[in-house]
């Protein structure tokens, strides 16, 4: 898909990615966007949570980080805007706004999706996990501790997306080689670290998870 114009097939692939039907590696696109067609300031014209959108509002029920939320949601409201504005969960960052960079990644029913190309109404009746759901009180998740220990972040803007992409992999508690880790994170872009520290952080976290899963249980 390198260098492709935005067309119907590309949009179909984006929708499949948003619904979690593609692996993160398959979402690593480099899209040639026609000049002048899409601009970041177009976001100002999108319906915002606090602004009435008329009779088209849809009642939406979603479980976010274990907590139930009921909202009247406009049909064109993006999930990323819903998360950040309606719910106040600003850990989910918005970067490219067309599903390429991975900064806005969250989990929908346990699978990574791009919240910037997913509509809020699509999560009705489903479970959503954002980066805020990783911590247990003051205790950081093992992935967060590993990123800290290995200096896997600098500015940190892309980090929430990496963490949410990696969480399902971590939960499988399986050893991965460096090439396999790079494939997992290939749909997430970072402009700071050069990726090597991120790979080391993932390896540290996954090795710990795998060791924990393989250790014999204490029957008392």
pLDDT surpasses 60 at 3: no
Options 1.10.150.80, 3.40.1110.10, 1.10.150.120, 1.10.1040.10; CATH of 142-214: 1.10.150.120
pTM over 0.85: no
Between 140 and 21, the more confident residue is 140
Q: List the single range of 34-48, 81-95, 102-116 with lowest mean pLDDT.
A: 34-48
- The CATH superfamily label for domain 46-133 reads Beta-grasp domain (3.10.20.30)
Between 194 and 161, the more confident residue is 161
Measure the CA–CA gap between 205 and 165, rounded to whole angstroms: 14
Q: Quick check: 215 and 179 in contact, CB under 8 A?
A: no
In DSSP terms, which residues pair with 111 in a beta bridge?
108
pLDDT surpasses 90 at 170: yes
Average pLDDT in the chain: 82
Measured N-to-C along each axis, helices 142-149 and 196-214 cross at an angle, to the nearest 10 degrees, of: 140
| φ, ψ (nearest 5 deg) of residue 198 | -65, -45
pLDDT surpasses 60 at 138: yes
Task: For residue 147, give the nearest of 79, 203, 97 by alpha carbon.
Answer: 203
pLDDT band (50, 70, 90) for residue 195: very high
Q: What is the pLDDT at residue 41?
A: 41
Task: For residue 185, give the nearest of 218, 153, 142, 141 by alpha carbon.
Answer: 153
Q: Quick check: 135 and 144 in contact, CB under 8 A?
A: yes
* Domain(s) of CATH 1.10.150.120: residues in the chain: 142-214
* Structural tokens at position 42: 């177009």
Q: What is the pLDDT at residue 213?
A: 67
pLDDT band (50, 70, 90) for residue 144: very high
* Domain(s) of CATH 3.10.20.30: residues in the chain: 46-133
Measure the CA–CA gap between 73 and 86, rounded to whole angstroms: 9
């Amino acid at each position: 898909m390198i260098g492709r114009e935005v067309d119907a097939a590309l949009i179909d692939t984006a929708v499949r990615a948003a619904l979690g039907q593609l692996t993160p590696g398959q979402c690593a696109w480099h899209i040639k966007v026609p000049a002048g067609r899409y601009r970041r300031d177009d976001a100002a014209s999108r319906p915002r949570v606090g602004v009435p959108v008329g009779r088209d509002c849809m009642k939406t029920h979603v479980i976010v980080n274990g907590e139930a939320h009921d909202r009247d949601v406009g049909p064109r409201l993006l999930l990323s805007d819903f998360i950040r504005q309606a719910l106040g969960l600003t850990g989910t960052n918005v970067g490219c706004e067309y599903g390429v960079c991975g900064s806005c990644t969250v989990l929908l029913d346990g699978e990574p999706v791009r919240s910037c190309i997913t509509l809020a109404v699509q999560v009705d009746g489903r479970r959503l996990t954002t980066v805020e759901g990783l911590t247990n009180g003051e205790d950081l998740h093992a992935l967060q501790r590993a990123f800290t220990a290995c200096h896997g972040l600098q500015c940190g803007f892309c980090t929430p997306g990496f963490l949410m992409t990696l969480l399902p992999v971590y939960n499988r508690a399986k050893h991965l080689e460096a090439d396999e880790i790079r494939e997992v994170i290939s749909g997430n872009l970072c402009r700071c670290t050069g990726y090597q520290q991120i790979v080391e952080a993932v390896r540290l976290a996954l090795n710990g998870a795998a060791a924990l899963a393989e250790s014999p249980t204490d029957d008392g």
